Amino acid sequence: MKIANLVFHPDLSASRVNRIWKEQLESSGKLSSSRDLYAEYPDFQIDVAREQQLLREHDRIIFQFPLYWYSSPPLLKKWLDDVLTYGFAYGSSGKALHGKDLQLLLSVGGDPKYYTGFDIYATLHDLLRPFQLTANLCGMNYMIPQWMYRADQASEETIRASGQEWIDLIDDPARGNGRAYLESEPDSTVI
């Protein structure tokens, strides 16, 4: 399985979580490619043909990013707008992404209590719904997203432990079908 990691962080040199995760994922040997998109496109002028070719060459696409204003950093949105064109990603002849997997991997500054879904607090699954719908429209398999809360307070040890958790899961073919994967998990025992 060829896995691409696309990292969307405005300044990885100032990042703790995403920089460490990127390095860990790269040294795992499980990725076919790993890229810092903000470094490649500082002027936001995305090379669409190149991005589409790279997508064709991979089976599983990871978007790694910090949660910014309950959403992604803007270059990821621009990348989606530019790269997922009609006739490539959707439309009657737009089948280039069919059957590929989409994995979101994100760092979240807030505490889990702000993502319970109660009252004004949306869950992260709610916030990430546009990515799920996009994957669906493009015929991609939306994998169970992965995230780490309290990103700014996390110790390096905690960041590395979560990074290792992703590495253990990242090439699991079963996770390409998120719903089937969840249903295959044994029910947790509540004591």
Ligand X SMILES: Cc1cc2nc3c(=O)[nH]c(=O)nc-3n(C[C@H](O)[C@H](O)[C@H](O)COP(=O)(O)O)c2cc1C
The answer to whether residue 139 forms part of the interface with ligand X (CB under 6 A) is no
The answer to whether residue 151 forms part of the interface with ligand X (CB under 6 A) is yes
What is the size of the binding site for ligand X (CB under 6 A)?
Answer: 16
Q: To the nearest whole angstrom, how small is the minimum distance from the Cβ of residue 49 to ligand X?
A: 29
Residues 37-76 that bind ligand X (CB under 6 A): 66-70
* Helices 48-56, 74-83: crossing angle, 10 deg rounding: 80
- Render 91-137 in DSSP notation, one character per residue: STT--TTTT-EEEEEEE--S-GGGGS-STT---HHHHTHHHHHHHHH
Q: To the nearest whole angstrom, how small is the minimum distance from the Cβ of residue 160 to ligand X?
A: 13
Q: To the nearest whole angstrom, how small is the minimum distance from the Cβ of residue 151 to ligand X?
A: 4
Q: Which of 91, 72, 90 is nearest to 6 (CA)?
A: 72
The answer to whether residue 17 forms part of the interface with ligand X (CB under 6 A) is yes
Q: Which of 49-57, 93-101, 103-111, 178-186 is the region at the interface with ligand X (rule: CB under 6 A)?
A: 103-111
The Cα-based distances of 133 to 34, 38, 81, 125, 178 in angstroms read: 24, 24, 14, 12, 14
- Of 74, 94, 110, 139, which one interacts with ligand X (CB under 6 A)? 110
Q: To the nearest whole angstrom, how small is the minimum distance from the Cβ of residue 29 to ligand X?
A: 22
3-state secondary structure of 12: helix
Q: Token pair of 162, please?
A: 């979560």
Q: To the nearest whole angstrom, how small is the minimum distance from the Cβ of residue 76 to ligand X?
A: 13
- Chain residues in the site for ligand X (CB under 6 A): 9, 15-18, 66-70, 107-110, 151-152
